[in-house]
Amino acid sequence: MAIKTLIGLEIHVELSTEKKMFCNCKNQYGADVNTLVCPVCLGLPGALPVIDKQAVEYALKAGLAFDCQIADTIRMDRKNYFYPDLTKGYQISQSDHPLCSGGYLEIEPEAGPKRITLDRIHIEEDTGKQLHTEDGTSLLDFNRSGVPLVEIVSNPDMNSAEEAKLFLEKLRNTLKYIGISDVRMEEGSLRCDININVVDEEKGVKTSVTEVKNLNSFRSAVKAIEYEEARHMKLLNEAEGNVKETRRWDEVAGETIIMRRKYTADDYRFANEADITPVPVDRNWIEEIRKSLPELPHAKKMRFMEEYSLSEYDAGVLTQSQELAHFFEETLEHVKDAKLLGNWMMGDVLRRLKDEDKDFEDMPISSGDLGELINLVKEEKINNNTGKKVLREMFETGKAPGDIVKEKGLIQISDEGELEKIVMETLDKNPQSIEDFKNGKDRAIGFLVGQIMKATKGKANPQLVNKLLTERIKER
């Protein structure tokens, strides 16, 4: 059978605006429960919503970044459904007239570049948040109620969990580049729903679409897709009929669990939001927003490859976030060696951040200090291993590399006369290693280098040590 998996994603993104979508309440994560509320976001009778201009601006930035078509008029709708933390009994959203239509995002799977098209980007408000206690009580926090969202809906152009993961990663990076959201999945500011089914292209049969709701990590999204793909394959192979369902991902069980039969648009009873009149979108304003957009990830990657002669892989890593790319270019002002700097940042710096469970925006050292450290290694004032130790202490203490090197006496020994004496002493103490090396055992030289590094507390210039060892052994 010619089986194809079809995957579409719906991504809800909380916008980092100062205020909520339809009121003046502060938009802030982590405040005391039910302290950022008012009659509007609590849905009290008589309270009237007013669209926040910054929320529209941020949504337009997303639409322009993904090459969408922008609507001439903002039209809001009521989406009616029951949910305990939906105070009004309906959500103010957009149905037939999204703010942004079409658009696309390019991903780069192993098979080659692929364009994932978008159906729409629309604006809406978030719901409140339920908190469940161990005794079975459910509590409601309405701080999140009314926080502005964009919902980004892709077409079912993805055919594997790998492609979906690449799409989510690039989408998140782009949204962060344009500064409209912190896209922290662990805080709920980026949530993903998956629509998936499989089709037998030869027989023309397919399974019904399943929606998996509210995935809050890329890992969970990948696992849910893999599970649902296998489940739908089984349904297709066994010729079992299935209906549209909404399911949730159970991280502990490692499986999806049915929540309900999937709603249709009619179930939501969409209607025009009578409290918000249609608002025209000024085309001059759109052009101002377009000009304000920063260099986007793909364009920055291409520039890094051309301007700094970096490989596609290196440029991709170094432009994965705006903070990382900016730090790289800042540090390059001090180092003047893009390849060397790239190796340090992609290796030891990112590894150190990962070990300490920090994002790049939490970088504890300055670009100037990192540049100074790399120059100390480049100028052979300290060796590479010492440089790594100094970097670790910089992360831990915040001290400048020059101060650490001076305090600990780490300046590399590159005086040939001084190293000559240590090499001769080491050879005198290890005649067997000399014989082993002459008999073709190359590891013997590594042992001798290790003995010299131990004697010099790691400060010997390793290139000079290798040169002197090879020359002196030949003389014996």
Q: Could you read off the pLDDT of 121-141 as tens digits, one per residue?
A: 999 999 999 888 888 899 999
Q: What residue type is assigned to position 194 of the chain?
A: I
Phi and psi, residue 475, nearest 5°: -80, -10
Residue 421's pLDDT band, with cuts at 50, 70 and 90, is confident
| Residue 457 is assigned to a structural domain of this protein | yes
| Residue 175 is assigned to a structural domain of this protein | yes
Write out pLDDT tens, residues 368-408. Answer: 999 999 999 998 888 888 899 999 999 999 999 999 988 88
276: left (phi over 0), alpha (psi -120 to 50) or beta: beta
For residue 241, what pLDDT is reported?
A: 61
* 1 pLDDT above the threshold of 60: no
For residue 366, what pLDDT is reported?
A: 95
Q: 86 vs 34, 38, 92, 127, CA distance in Å?
A: 14, 14, 11, 5
pTM, rounded to two decimals: 0.82
* 142 pLDDT above the threshold of 80: yes
- Kindly state the DSSP code that residue 349 receives in the 8-state scheme: I
Q: 330 vs 298, 311, 398, 421, CA distance in Å?
A: 20, 20, 18, 43
Residues 210, 264, single domain; the answer is yes
Write out pLDDT tens, residues 97-111. Answer: 999 999 999 998 988
* 75 pLDDT above the threshold of 90: yes
For residue 71, what pLDDT is reported?
A: 97
Tally the domains of the chain. Answer: 3
What is the arithmetic mean of pLDDT over 456-462? 75
Residues 136, 281, single domain; the answer is yes
For residue 415, what pLDDT is reported?
A: 64
**Final residue of a domain: which of 380, 408, 436?**
408
Helix H or strand E encompassing 467 = helix 462-474
Query: Rounded to an integer, what distance in angstroms lies between the CA atom of residue 279 and that of residue 273?
Result: 12
| Residue 386 is assigned to a structural domain of this protein | yes
Residues 229, 316, single domain; the answer is no
For residue 321, what pLDDT is reported?
A: 86
Residues 110, 17, single domain; the answer is yes
* 428 pLDDT above the threshold of 80: no
| Residue 360 is assigned to a structural domain of this protein | yes
Percent of the chain with pLDDT over 90: 64
Residues 238, 342, single domain; the answer is no
* 264 pLDDT above the threshold of 60: no
Q: Which residue has the higher pLDDT, 82 or 239?
A: 82
Helix H or strand E encompassing 231 = helix 218-237
Residues 262, 216, single domain; the answer is yes
For residue 467, what pLDDT is reported?
A: 79
**Final residue of a domain: which of 223, 250, 285?**
285
Residues 246, 320, single domain; the answer is no
Residues 458, 399, single domain; the answer is no
| Residue 290 is assigned to a structural domain of this protein | no
Residues 306, 342, single domain; the answer is yes
Nearest to 66 by CA among 15, 104, 9: 104
pLDDT averaged over every residue in the chain: 90
**Final residue of a domain: which of 254, 285, 316?**
285
List, in sequence order, the alpha helices (H) in 336-414: 338-344, 350-355, 367-378, 384-397, 401-408
For residue 466, what pLDDT is reported?
A: 78
Residue 52's pLDDT band, with cuts at 50, 70 and 90, is very high
Residues 220, 339, single domain; the answer is no
Question: And the tokens for 319?
Answer: 């432009």
Residues 107, 213, single domain; the answer is yes
For residue 191, what pLDDT is reported?
A: 93
The range of the structural domain enclosing residue 38 comes to 3-285
For residue 263, what pLDDT is reported?
A: 56
Q: Which residue has the higher pLDDT, 460 or 391?
A: 391
* 251 pLDDT above the threshold of 70: yes
Question: And the tokens for 337?
Answer: 């060696």
Helix (H, G, I), strand (E, B) or coil at 104: strand
Residue 335's pLDDT band, with cuts at 50, 70 and 90, is very high
Residues 368, 303, single domain; the answer is yes
| Residue 11 is assigned to a structural domain of this protein | yes
Instruction: Average the pLDDT over each of 109-123, 193-207, 235-249, 398-412 and give the range with the smallest value.
Output: 235-249
Q: 450 vs 185, 419, 428, 443, 459, CA distance in Å?
A: 46, 14, 15, 11, 11
Total length of the chain: 476
Domain containing residue 463: CATH number: 1.10.10.410
For residue 132, what pLDDT is reported?
A: 87
